[in-house]
Amino acid sequence: MPDANPEAVKFLQTRRSRPAKTLGQPVPDRASLVPLLTAAARTPDHGKLEPWRFIVLDRRAMERLSSVVDVRGAALDLPAEEIAKGRSQFDEGQLAVAVIEVQKPSDKIPAIEQTYSAGAVCLALLNAALASGWGANWLSGWPSHDRGFMREGLGLEDHERIAGIIHIGTEKATPPDRPRPDIESITTWPSD
C-alpha cells in the first residue's frame, strides 16, 4: 500500500476557488508568494521545457491594465458592458499572477502538451494559494485572449499567451458552494 496523505486528499476533494471580487487585503508579500510559485512550477512538464513563466501583478499594475482594457475594448469596438466586465478583475483585484504560456520549439513535445502544462501550472498555483490559507481564483476573460492586450499590457511575444490570471488575497466573504459533478455520470469503468 502506498504512503497516503489523507489531509492532502481531503483538501483536494473539498477545495474551492474564491470569487476574485471577494478577495482583498492583505495579499501575500514576495516572501509568501515565492513558495506558491515554487509549488506551481512542480507541475508535470514533459521534456523539461518549462513552457510557462510568471508575471506578478500588484495593485499599480492592475490599474495600468484596466486602462489597457479600455483602449483595447475601444479598438475592438466592444460594447461598454463587455469592456467593463473585462476590466472588472483589474479594477477590483489587489494581487494576481499572470501565468504565461511560452511555446518552445520541440521535435518531441507537441505544442498542445505545452498548453496542458501551462494550464496545470494555473491549477497548481491556485491550489497552493488555497492550501496556504489565501483566497484565490483563476480568471481569464476576453482581454486574456486579445493579442493586443497581451502585447500592450504584458509585453508578450507572439509565441506567448496568457494561460490564466490567478488572483490571490484575503477572502472577505464566502458565497455558497456550487453543485459539483456527479462522478458516476462522467466516469466510464471497464466493466460497464
With beta carbons less than 8 A apart as the criterion, state whether 171 and 22 touch.
yes
SS3 178: coil
d(CA 22, CA 112): 33
Stated as kind and residue range, the H or E segment containing 171 is: strand 160-171
145 is in an annotated binding site: no
16 is in an annotated binding site: yes
140 is in an annotated binding site: yes
d(CA 29, CA 34): 9
138 is in an annotated binding site: yes
With beta carbons less than 8 A apart as the criterion, state whether 183 and 153 touch.
no
72 is in an annotated binding site: no
End-to-end CA distance of the chain: 27
| Angle at the Cα of 114 from the Cα atoms of 110 and 119, rounded to 5 degrees | 145
With beta carbons less than 8 A apart as the criterion, state whether 93 and 167 touch.
yes
46 is in an annotated binding site: yes
The annotated binding site for FMN is made up of 15-17, 42, 46, 138-140
The annotated binding site is made up of 15-17, 42, 46, 138-140
